[in-house]
Homo-oligomer: A and B are copies of this chain.
């Protein structure tokens, strides 16, 4: 019996464990200081009431023989798939309900989608980025190359025509940088993918935070239906981190090697997945109802105000940053050329504020720092007051 020895090539990412350890050590040494966590990657506001109501109703239906639901469809209930398609239409993108696969979250799909591709593909991953893309592809033994980004391109990596890739991950608005592509930039990626017969895996998990006139979906771009799969999540859209629901959109015209990728993904899900909980799908559909959208956007608006508190402070301090407007994340250059762990220690020791060192997201993050908008107004205001005191 041989284990998958690609696991030996996976470098354990202790980013959040190290952050927690250092924070706890500081708390122990300074029992009277109030630590403020601006590194939170999880939502903190509760679910919209209309979503809770729908989920409870779904649960209650399982109590009675007449309304009981057994195995769901692998690809999701029609009503949930239609709700997603209607949501896309609300921002001007046309997809068909039967192109939508409901899942237990974008992270599962981001990893599992690899099953439909050969190991023998070169994967292009932006740097910095959500570490899951890298780990999932190391695990399956694929060759990984990086698309570096920096201050020069405002952390929006662009395609390099000298580089040949088969699978391209794009996350926009990006985690951790908060930077979001405009239409022309996404078009350049679509053109590059089409030229290379590549497939873009487009992670739109933060699309609900977009305020500017930027694409909410890769399918807003001409040609994307021939080269892109979109993965999205209700985690940040509707606070579903603990409810677990996402969706993946595969256009029916997207084919490679004589196969529709839609068919391959259906076959993969039919073999290794058994659909999403009835009550969760009821809740997901409620998210996309008129009242659901109104209530969910109230939460997003609260987080946006926090993001603005942080980015206004950085503007005032003259610190370079990306994100904050179309994203819950703010990514800024560490002052005084500090590296990201040095700055982490400095900020914790001198201001009692915790963030996330950029080095945890890739080489290009080594002098950058991520803060998030998921704490309360009060704590966020207090944190920026302390930061200002340090740097003005």
Among A72, A107, A121, A198, the one with the most B-chain Cβ atoms within 10 Å of its Cβ is A107
For residue A390, CB closer than 8 A to chain B, the reply is no
Among A1, A43, A243, the one with the most B-chain Cβ atoms within 10 Å of its Cβ is A1
Which listed residue (B105, B116, B199) contacts A7, Cβ 8 A?
B116
- Who on chain B is nearest to A3 by CB? B257
- Who on chain B is nearest to A67 by CB? B46
Q: Are A108 and B273 in contact (CB under 8 A)?
A: yes
Which listed residue (B44, B111, B116, B167) contacts A70, Cβ 8 A?
B44
For residue A97, CB closer than 8 A to chain B, the reply is no
Residues of B within 8 A of A167 (CB): 1
For residue A161, CB closer than 8 A to chain B, the reply is no
Among A62, A63, A283, the one with the most B-chain Cβ atoms within 10 Å of its Cβ is A62
Residues of B within 8 A of A107 (CB): 272-274
Q: Are B44 and A65 in contact (CB under 8 A)?
A: yes
- Who on chain B is nearest to A270 by CB? B135
A 369-385 contacts with B by CB, 8 A: none
Q: Are A264 and B108 in contact (CB under 8 A)?
A: no
Which listed residue (B3, B47, B110) contacts A63, Cβ 8 A?
B47
For residue A136, CB closer than 8 A to chain B, the reply is yes
- Who on chain B is nearest to A196 by CB? B1
Q: Are B7 and A259 in contact (CB under 8 A)?
A: yes
Q: Are A116 and B3 in contact (CB under 8 A)?
A: yes
Q: How far is the CA of A254 from the CA of B241 in the complex (A)?
A: 32
Q: How far is the CA of A381 from the CA of B72 in the complex (A)?
A: 28
Residues of B within 8 A of A119 (CB): 4
A 54-92 contacts with B by CB, 8 A: 55-56, 59-60, 62-65, 68-72
For residue A267, CB closer than 8 A to chain B, the reply is yes
Q: Are B62 and A46 in contact (CB under 8 A)?
A: yes
Q: How far is the CA of A197 from the CA of B167 in the complex (A)?
A: 37
Residues of B within 8 A of A62 (CB): 46-47, 52, 55, 242-243
| With A3-B116, A69-B242, A139-B268 already in contact, 17 other A-B pairs whose C-beta atoms are closer than 8 Å | A1-B166, A1-B197, A1-B199, A2-B121, A3-B256, A3-B259, A5-B257, A44-B68, A45-B68, A47-B62, A47-B63, A47-B68, A56-B56, A104-B274, A104-B277, A112-B272, A132-B272
27 intermolecular pairs with C-beta atoms under 8 Å apart: A1-B196, A1-B257, A2-B118, A2-B166, A3-B256, A3-B261, A5-B257, A7-B267, A46-B63, A52-B59, A56-B59, A56-B60, A59-B283, A62-B242, A68-B239, A70-B242, A72-B242, A110-B272, A112-B112, A112-B272, A132-B272, A136-B272, A139-B271, A242-B277, A243-B279, A277-B280, A279-B280
